[in-house]
């Protein structure tokens, strides 16, 4: 008889020996207990089924031919509620071995021809133990992953909530500076996202341009009130200073890694398609697509919003200005997409102030 080698695990494996011959079960219990296993015995097949139902066993060693029911009927009953237990059939002779179909159907791990030498049976048990240990490791790893994923989901949720709170705080700071432009960033954000969706861009790109639209004017926090809140047309010097606000925005946003992907859209939203914009006089495809989208949404909302130094345009007047600026201030394809969106919404709502009707001013990240 060989001693079971993995002594750290030997007491963790529980075996149930089932045979209608009490001498056989006593012999199995004595042998495998001496090898370090915990072994229970049972001579009644029905009682064995209930023991497995109500207790944990890793291995069932069962006689195949028994009374009042045979081992295959025992296993059929056990498999209705337990697919984890490893099963080894015991037979009195090779000719009495269970059919291969039965072994496969009932997920039997092996069978052993009874005799005086249990070495072969012990090898079968050791093989089962190794499989049990491997499955245990896999389950523990899976559980650890589930716990880790749950924790990561909670962390990500908190990060997203913090991200959202930061964005709303920054947006509110801009709105607080000027009552006449309050809500402008929200509208630009939503309009930019609608354009992006209509262009067939990815969900990640849609989220990115929405955030960039919301924070496109954040650089105005560094513009003096005397310029930002002026009741008339800006002088050349004042206009030059105002044109620094995209770069001021980058100074603010680049301190937060979360915002790294929205920087091009924010920095370039005043570039013009023909290259006459600012701050770098980029043109056409050299302007980030997010910025070209925001440019259209920003100008449309500015034209249709009241300002202290001028009246707002009607939607139809703003539409004409967008068409007039195709290929000069605006990307022609993006204007065409936006004009279609504009037409769809005005037709659906019959409301000249459709922008206010469709814009939800509560910014929310998709989790």
Q: Do 84 and 184 belong to one domain?
A: no
CB atoms near residue 322 (< 10 Å): 20
Which DSSP string corresponds to 175-232? HHH-GGGTTHHHHHHHHHHHHHHHTT--HHHHHHHHHHHHTTTGGGGGS-HHHHT-SS
Sheet hosting strand 38-42, strand order edge to edge? 38-42, 14-18, 59-63, 86-91, 110-113
Let me know if residue 153 belongs to a domain.
no
Q: 108-114: long-range contacts at Cβ-Cβ below 8 A with a sequence spacing of 24 or more?
A: 108/75, 111/64, 112/61, 112/88, 114/24, 114/90
Q: What is the pLDDT of residue 258?
A: 77
pTM of the model: 0.53
Buried b (16+ CB within 10 A) or exposed e, 132-158: beeeeeeeeeeeeeeeeeeeeeeeeee
Q: Do 183 and 136 belong to one domain?
A: no
Q: Do 206 and 87 belong to one domain?
A: no
Let me know if residue 83 belongs to a domain.
yes
* CA gap 219, 316 in Å, rounded: 30
Q: Do 212 and 351 belong to one domain?
A: yes
Q: Which of 93, 113, 141 is the last residue of a domain?
A: 141
Closest of 218, 219, 208 to residue 290, by C-alpha: 208
Helix (H, G, I), strand (E, B) or coil at 26: helix
Q: Do 319 and 186 belong to one domain?
A: yes
Low-confidence ranges of the chain (pLDDT < 50): 1, 4-5, 347-354, 357-367
Q: What is the pLDDT of residue 156?
A: 53
């Amino acid at each position: 008889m060989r001693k079971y080698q993995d002594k750290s695990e030997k007491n963790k494996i529980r075996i149930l020996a089932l045979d209608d011959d009490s001498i056989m079960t006593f012999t199995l219990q004595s042998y495998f207990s001496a090898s370090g296993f915990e072994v229970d015995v049972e001579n009644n097949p029905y009682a064995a089924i209930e023991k497995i139902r109500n207790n944990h066993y890793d291995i069932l060693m069962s006689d195949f031919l028994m009374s009042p029911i045979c081992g295959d009927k025992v296993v059929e009953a056990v498999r209705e509620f337990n697919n984890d237990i490893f099963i080894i059939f015991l037979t009195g002779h090779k000719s009495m071995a269970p059919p291969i179909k039965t072994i496969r159907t009932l997920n039997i791990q092996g069978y052993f021809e009874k005799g005086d030498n249990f070495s072969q049976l012990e090898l079968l048990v050791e093989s089962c133990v190794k499989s049990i240990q491997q499955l245990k490791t896999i389950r523990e790893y899976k559980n650890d992953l589930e716990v880790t994923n749950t924790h990561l989901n909670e962390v990500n949720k908190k990060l997203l909530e913090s991200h959202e709170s930061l964005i709303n705080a920054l947006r509110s700071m801009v709105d607080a500076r000027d009552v006449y432009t309050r809500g402008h960033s929200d509208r630009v954000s939503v309009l930019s996202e609608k354009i992006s969706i209509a262009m067939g861009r990815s969900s990640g790109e849609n989220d990115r341009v929405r955030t960039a639209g919301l924070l496109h004017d954040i650089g105005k926090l560094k513009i003096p009130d005397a310029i930002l809140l002026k009741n008339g047309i800006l002088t050349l010097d004042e206009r030059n200073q105002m044109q620094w606000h995209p770069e001021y925005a980058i100074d603010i946003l680049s301190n937060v890694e979360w915002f790294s992907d929205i920087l091009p859209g924010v920095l370039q939203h005043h570039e013009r398609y023909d290259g006459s914009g600012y701050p770098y006089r980029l043109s056409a495809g050299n302007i980030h697509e997010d910025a070209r989208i925001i440019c259209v949404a920003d100008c449309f909302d500015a034209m249709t919003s009241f300002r202290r130094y001028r009246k707002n345009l009607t939607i139809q007047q703003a539409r004409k200005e967008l068409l007039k600026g195709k290929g000069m201030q605006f990307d022609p394809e993006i204007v065409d997409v936006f004009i279609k969106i504009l037409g769809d919404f005005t037709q659906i709502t019959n409301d000249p102030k459709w922008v206010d009707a469709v814009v939800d001013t509560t910014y929310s990240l998709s989790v």
